[in-house]
Amino acid sequence: MAEPTDTRHDEVPDLSLSEGEEEEDDEEQWQWMEEEADGVSVSCLFCQRSLNSVPETFQHCQADHGVSILQLVKAHRLDDYGYIKMINYIRTVKCSGETLAVFDGAVPWDSDEFMKPALPDDPLLQIDLEELVGAELVVDAAASGQDEALLQRARQAEERAARSEEALARAMEDLQNLKVLAQGLVLNAGRPGPSCSGAIAELREDEDEAYFSSYGHYGIHEEMLKDKVRTESYRDFICGNPDVFKDKVVLDVGCGTGILSMFAARAGARKVIAVDQSEIIYQAMDIVRSNQLENTITLIKGRIEDVNLPVEKVDIIISEWMGYFLLFESMLDSVIFARDMYLAEGGSVYPNSCNISLAAVGDTEKHCDRIAFWDDVYGFKMECMKKAVVPEAVVEVLKPETVISEPAVIQTLDCNAVTTSELEFTADFTLKMTASTHCTAVVGYFDIFFDRGSANKVMFSTSPHCTKTHWKQTVFLLENPIPVQSGDELPGRITVRKNRKDPRALLVTLNLADWRQTYSLQ
């Protein structure tokens, strides 16, 4: 897995709203619906009628069919994914309003198959759910009295602050992309090559191209193969459980050099299908032939979502999909797709489970070097640079003695059951302190388990207390250290979500005590 680039961002304008702007924003939140999709033909969810806008469609559904889409969103606590699935479900099965009213608890649209639009270019799928719900809340507040309205406005102000943080992170990312482009143009000035317009067009290409290209170079595969914790864990599980693999059909998602495929073949697999989109697949073909395994291993170049496998179902899926902080790079999405598409009943994905943990860090020396440094730079104040430095998560090997709390598991994933929507989550946690010092950061790491249906169970951890891996640890620096005493319990909340502009990157929001910060991992 590639190292993240060491980026530095310029300061960006403050995106927060003044008090007057907040009042204006409250009054205008409902207006977005009147302006949304002007002149667009929107098909009703329950009849053949076409309406002129999304708001008109919602009003028609409520007036003529007795169904309030907004109430359904609130009643089932739907996020963006849940809303999209619900709309596609209604259009696909053509259910009635009476049918929707009986669902209490589990809903029938909680399946990734309903992420596929039932109606091409459906305007109902192109709205901002956050704004949709927020708009209704403003109206509800006005109807229920001044006190409730004031409370609701306070909640909306908090939501706007959160959106402003996310907008700030996106703006910083855009600045970095422009800086990289500018540096490339300067470095290539005077050399034969593409024009400026060609370089700009290059930035607009499919984001996956750069991702897969990074895995085409041998260097990243050398780093992963030399990571003994990683590679030997896979080897020990696969080769140590021949009864699991004997005569099975195995799918290797993101096979790289083919090392996992060859372990599976050595363990007795009848057939192994190895898929990878990067150019390394051609070296993998040579490697497989060199080891006389071409009759067992079939290699296919392409994204698992796009290729056609030579079999309908497989017995086992193996993959080394983990990224920094476990979910960086979003490769688990591809494994889930492969599982849902190809895994036979009774089959298994390996590794079969994993978790993410957090712990407190007390390293005042490093905090001074990276954060307090900007208070006085050769006699000049540069505190504004902290706004660019703090929001970037740092991937590094942490000294175990700097960990000052017990770990707290914030998420556990069952790779045989998890859905893509569950890869974005919010979790509350408590860090119990083991030292009296200052908390200067929070560290994140993950544990991996191979133990489903096997006699020889294997696991490994990327904890600071364990042998280092190429994943290292992910560190979230605090702008201001928090004094703590041994035995204290520091409450917090974490939200992990994909960056909408780059779904392979992550945005992580930490609330710790009375402090809040959104970090980017890219």
CATH for 312: 3.40.50.150
Is 193 a residue whose pLDDT tops 70? no
- Give the separation between CA 320 and CA 304, rounded to whole angstroms: 14
Q: How does residue 293 score in pLDDT terms, banded at 50, 70 and 90?
A: very high
pLDDT band at 18 (very low <50, low <70, confident <90, very high): very low
Which of 267, 296, 320 is where one domain is finished? Answer: 320
Query: Within this chain, do residues 373 and 304 fall inside the same structural domain, yes or no?
Result: no
188 occurs within a structural domain: no
Residues ≥6 apart with Cβ < 8 Å to 148: 140, 141
pLDDT, tens only, 157-190: 666 666 666 666 666 666 655 654 554 444 444 4
Tokens in use for 264? 């599976």
Same domain assignment for residues 494 and 397: yes
Is 310 inside any structural domain? yes
pLDDT digits (tens, 9 = 90+) for 102-141: 676 678 888 888 888 888 888 888 877 666 665 454 444 4
Average pLDDT over residues 27-42: 52
Is the pLDDT at 273 greater than 60? The verdict is yes
In a domain, 31, yes or no: no
Buried residues in 347-376 as b, exposed as e (16+ CB within 10 A): bbbbbbbbbbbbbbbbbeebbeebbbebee
Task: Please indicate, yes or no, whether residues 388 and 516 belong to a single structural domain of this protein.
Answer: yes
Mean pLDDT of 450-471: 95
Reference 351, options 508, 274, 460; nearest CA is 460
* Number of domains observed in the structure of the chain: 2
Residues 377 and 480 both lie in one domain: yes
Write the CATH number for 498: 2.70.160.11
- Residues linked to residue 69 through DSSP beta bridges, in sequence order: none
Check: CB of residue 458 under 8 Å from CB of residue 451. yes
On whether the CB atoms of residues 245 and 229 are closer than 8 A, the answer is: no
What are the tokens at 167?
């907008």
Quote the pTM value.
0.60
Mean pLDDT, to the nearest integer, of 215-221? Answer: 51
If asked whether residues 313 and 357 sit together in one domain, one would say no
- Asked if residue 100 is part of any domain, the answer here is no
Check if the beta carbon of residue 284 is closer than 8 Å to that of residue 258.
yes
Q: Distance of alpha carbon 150 from its chain centroid, rounded?
A: 34
Residues 263 and 368 in one domain: no
Residues 468 and 366 in one domain: yes
Selected residue with higher pLDDT from 69 and 317: 317
Catalytic residue (choose from 294, 329, 345, 396) = 329
Q: Where are the beta strands (DSSP E) in 128-285?
A: 249-253, 271-276
Q: Domain containing 498: what range?
A: 353-521
pLDDT for 456 beyond 60? yes
Q: How confident is the model at residue 156, as a pLDDT? A: 67
Residues 394 and 443 in one domain: yes
Q: Based on the fold, state whether residues 315 and 369 are members of the same structural domain.
A: no
For residue 42, the cross-strand partners are 51
User: Average pLDDT over the chain, rounded to whole?
Assistant: 81
Cα separations in angstroms, 220 against 227, 233, 306, 363, 386 = 11, 18, 24, 30, 31
Q: Could you tell me the pLDDT band of residue 511, with boundaries at 50, 70 and 90? A: very high
Catalytic residue chosen out of the listed positions 202, 320, 365, 422: 320
Report pLDDT for 36: 44
Residue 357 maps to a domain: yes
Measured from the Cβ of residue 446, the count of other Cβ atoms closer than 10 Å reads 25
- 320 has catalytic annotation: yes
- With contact defined as beta carbons under 8 Å apart, do 257 and 287 qualify? yes
Among residues of the chain, what percentage have pLDDT more than 70? 74
The pLDDT of 286-299, averaged and rounded, is 95
β-strands 42-43, 50-51 pairing: antiparallel
Contacts of 307 (CB under 8 A, 6+ apart): 275, 300
Any domain includes 306: yes
Question: Quick one: 251 and 397 in the same domain?
Answer: no
Average pLDDT estimate for 416-435: 95
Residue 386 domain flag? yes
As given in the structure block, the two tokens for residue 47 are 């009849």
Chain centroid to CA 405: 26
Domain boundary among 299, 320, 341: 320
Q: Can 329 be counted among the known catalytic residues? A: yes
Contact 9, 388 (CB under 8 A): yes
Q: Are residues 306 and 365 in the same domain?
A: no
pLDDT at 418: 96
291 close to 262: Cβ distance less than 8 angstroms: yes
Does residue 309 share a domain with residue 402? no
253 within a domain of the structure (yes/no)? yes
